[in-house]
Structure 1
């Protein structure tokens, strides 16, 4: 559905970043998803968000 990437410095800009859905900081071993718009989320969080949304869209761009 969306490209998945495991957390690493090339995907996560800095250690102070957090998922906008759950508000938890990203950890190095987290599975994250980068949407087409470029926003980054924990994979599980964004999948739940999109599944429950009336109109599937990025939580930040909506």
Structure 2
């Protein structure tokens, strides 16, 4: 069974409806959630590990190959 990743800010799973972003510590979040976090948090830290981060280091769009299990043929349409 594949592991489903989620945004710890809003607790929603990552899917194709929202852009997923990352910061230089390696943690991933919904892009909009991360922007809102930086606007409301008193200090610019990662919501997960609390390392100091900067909005200029956000990778604002990640792509995942989701739902592919070992031994399943790849389908270009999905």
TM-score (norm 2): 0.57
Residue in structure 2 matched with residue 35 of structure 1 by the alignment? 23
By how many angstroms is 1:30 displaced? 2.6
Q: Secondary structure at the match of 1:47?
A: helix
Residue in structure 1 matched with residue 13 of structure 2 by the alignment? 25
Residue in structure 2 matched with residue 48 of structure 1 by the alignment? 36
Q: Secondary structure at the match of 1:41?
A: strand
In structure 2, distance between residues paired with 1:15 and 1:28:
16
Q: How many residues align?
A: 49
For structure 2, the residue ranges without an aligned partner over 5 or more in a row are: 51-78
Residue in structure 2 matched with residue 60 of structure 1 by the alignment? 48
Task: State the superposition RMSD in angstroms.
Answer: 1.5
Which aligned runs of 4 or more in structure 1 are off by greater than 2 angstroms?
none
